[in-house]
Structures are given as C-alpha cells and as structure tokens.
Amino acid sequence: MTGIDSDQKQSPLERRSTLPSLTGMRFFAAFLVFLAHASDQRFFRDAGFSADFNDVVRGSGYVGVAFFFVLSGFVLTWSARAGDTARAFWRRRAAKVYPNTVVAVLLAALLVTTTDQALKTRVLVPNLLLIQSWIPDLEVFLGVNPPTWSLACELFFYLCFPLLLVGIKRIPGRYLWPTAAAVVALVAVLPLVARLIQGGVMFPPPVSVSFPRFWFVYAFPPVRMLEFVLGMLMARIVLTGRWIPLGRLPALVIAIGAFVGLKHAPTLFAIVAVMVVPIALLIASVAAADVRGARSWLGSTFVVRLGEISFAFYLLHQLVLSYGHRWLGLHRTWSTPAAFAVLAGLLLVALVLSAVLHTLVEQPAMARLARPRRRPEAVGPPADPRLERAGEVREDRTAAPAANAAPARGEPSTVD
C-alpha cells in the first residue's frame, strides 16, 4: 500500500474491511439531527414535558454533524486506493452530492411557494451551488433547506482531500497520535478565537451567541475541516495498527458522558470541542472491531440499509418536519402520546421519501455520472510520481484492493 512510512510494519488491519457498522451508525447520527429539529417544532402541549424533551435532545444536532465530518475523513482515507486520481475522486463526490441536493433544494423551493414567504435569488443560488456556508448571512446560510449547509463544508473537504491525503500519509506512524492531539487542541482553541470576532445579531436562548461568532465555529468550512482531518488521522492510526485497546462499549460510554457534559458547556465549545474526541474514539473503535470480525447489530442488513439512505434522510427530514407540522396545523400541539405518534409518523414519511430519493436519484446518478464513459489518455508523466501515487484516492464499491489486502466486498460510505 502506498504512502506508509518505511519504518512501519504492516499490521493485519491493513486489509480494507467494508466497515458495515460505520455505515449503520450513519443513520443514528442523522437521527440525532432529526431529534434536534423535531424539538424546534414544539409538538408537545405539556410545557413541562416539552422543556424536558428539548433539554434531553439539546446539542444532538451538533453531535450528529460533527460525527458526519469525522466519519467522512475516516472512510475516505480508509478506502483510498492506488490507481485513482484527484479528478476521478472529485467526479464521484460531485455525482454523490449534487443530484440529491439539487432535488432537495428545488423541492424546498417548491414548498416555499405554498406559504406566504418569498424565496430570493441571492438565497436560492448559493444553496444550489453549495457555497452558502462561506457566506456569513443567516438568511443565506440557513435558507431554503437548512441541513444542506454542511454539504457546502463537505465539498470544501473533498476539494482539499487529495492534497491532505498526501500530507497525512507522509506523517511517520509514531507521530500520528501527537498530530491528532494537535488537531484536537486547535478545535478547542477556536471558540476562544471566535470571541475576538466583533459581535453582531444575537441568537435567542439557549444559543445566546452573536451570529458572526456562531457562524465561524459552526459553519465556516476551513474551521470545520479540522474534524475531517481528525477522521483522516484516526483512519491512518487504525490502518497502521496503532489503535489503542479501547472497545466499542467503553467508547460509547465516553461519548454518552461527553454528551451529558455538552449541555453544561458554553455554546461555542458545545458545537464541536466537547464531543470531537469521543466521536473520533467511537468511530475508530467500531472500525477496529469490524476489522477483527466482531459481530454487531449495527452491521445487520436492516441497519446498514438505513445507513445507506441516511444521506437522503438528512436532506429531507427537516422539510418533512416543518411542512408536515404546517399541514397538520401550524403551531398545533398535541398531548404527549399523540405528539410521539405524530413524530413517529413524520419519521416514517421521511424514511419512505428518503428511500425513494436514494433509489431514483442517488443510485442512478452514481451509476451514470461517477465514472467517465471512456478512460482519458495520459498526457504525460506527473511531475513527481511519488506525489501522484500518494495522492491517489478511491472510495467507491468497485475499488481494487491493495496488492497485500484481502478482497473487499464493498466500501463504507459517508453521509455526503
């Protein structure tokens, strides 16, 4: 396998497992985001229970998005293959992201016409192009279909990935953990940096942070790329046999404990800093268990299928929640049992629509657009063959395994 420093001995973990449990975990990360947006709808008539529900799920959206960013870096590094090029990688990522996103954004724009709201071109265009996270304007950044802001970050990660992979593969194995620690330290410092930004419009409680500071920590793509880079480093740590003996259950307990602590942390720290280490440890522990062949219900056929449609679910769930609530009765509330029934019904609707989007748009787009129709002729040798080899990436299901790797049946995918 290319890109491993010469002082390392290849471990059994160098074989590229399909990591089905990570695919299954994607749905539960998306479900955390669903719960966060469900709490915004205020379905519960009982004010006390509503407050308790909101308190329980508060911060779940932060955790879900951070999980996706770390996971994305992990699986793309894990599934990188020799023989690929940056252009081919970018083509596959565009085929994965844009068709679903365009359909979801246009659907959202259509739904807006059923209300008394007007959709501005300056809002619609950045959302269609997935550049809205670069614009510190609340109306643009969270306009049309709010969850798509994270995909603007993902596109930036993909653009940088081939170059990042070159650098991370050049890190000697003994320095992978210290480098990961340095990235975590940067994540922890950024909320302090954000406080130097001049204040602006304040978000109401419980956020209670000025929008420019919130945007910098929450949505600014170069800042969020640190989570992606941490995921890349964790993949290299597992692949090179330097993973610590931390099992899935202890890692989950650490993550749950951190989630409880997140609720008492200042908002700027709660967005990423509190959970980034537990998320990285949980992802790596689950991946290491999959490589060892340990069984997990997360890798069952049903849960993996949920993980496969999780990207579509992520794109559609808030539209189902907000417009479903509107059609059932704007600002309407229900008794606690009825409210849970409404939530379950909307969840089912979102899952069905997600399966349709995945089947009719995402899969055909990947089949037709992810690969060029004919292989382009080589123009000439790269300036530095070592950089070309080190920068080769591949994460699709037909990737050829490394020469010393066991044949792979498939590859994990991200929520992107």
| CA geometry: angle 146, 28, 395, nearest 5 deg | 85
Q: Which two tokens stand for residue 196?
A: 């130097």
Residue with tokens 């290299």: 236
pTM for the structure as a whole: 0.86
CA dihedral angle for residue 217, residue 219, residue 221, residue 223, rounded to 10 degrees: 10
Please tell me the predicted confidence (pLDDT) of residue 129: 93
For the chain, domain boundaries: 12-373
Position 409 scores a pLDDT of 35
In contact, 180 and 280? CB cutoff 8 Å: yes
Secondary structure (DSSP) of 261-287: HHTTS-HHHHTTTTTHHHHHHHHHHHH
164 backbone dihedrals φ, ψ, rounded to 5°: -60, -40
Cα radius of gyration rounded to whole Å, the chain: 21
The separation between the first and the last C-alpha atoms of the chain, rounded to the nearest angstrom, is 26
pLDDT of residue 402: 34
- Averaged over successive runs of 10 residues, the pLDDT of the chain (416 residues) comes to 38 62 95 96 95 94 97 95 88 94 94 85 93 93 92 97 96 96 98 89 80 94 98 97 94 97 94 97 96 90 96 97 94 95 97 97 90 52 38 35 34 43
DSSP string of 107-163, one letter each residue: HHHHHHTTTT----HHHHHHHHHT-GGGS--HHHHT-SSGGGHHHHHHHHHHHHHHH
* Whole-angstrom distance, CA of residue 88 vs CA of residue 394: 8
Would you state the pLDDT for residue 23? 94
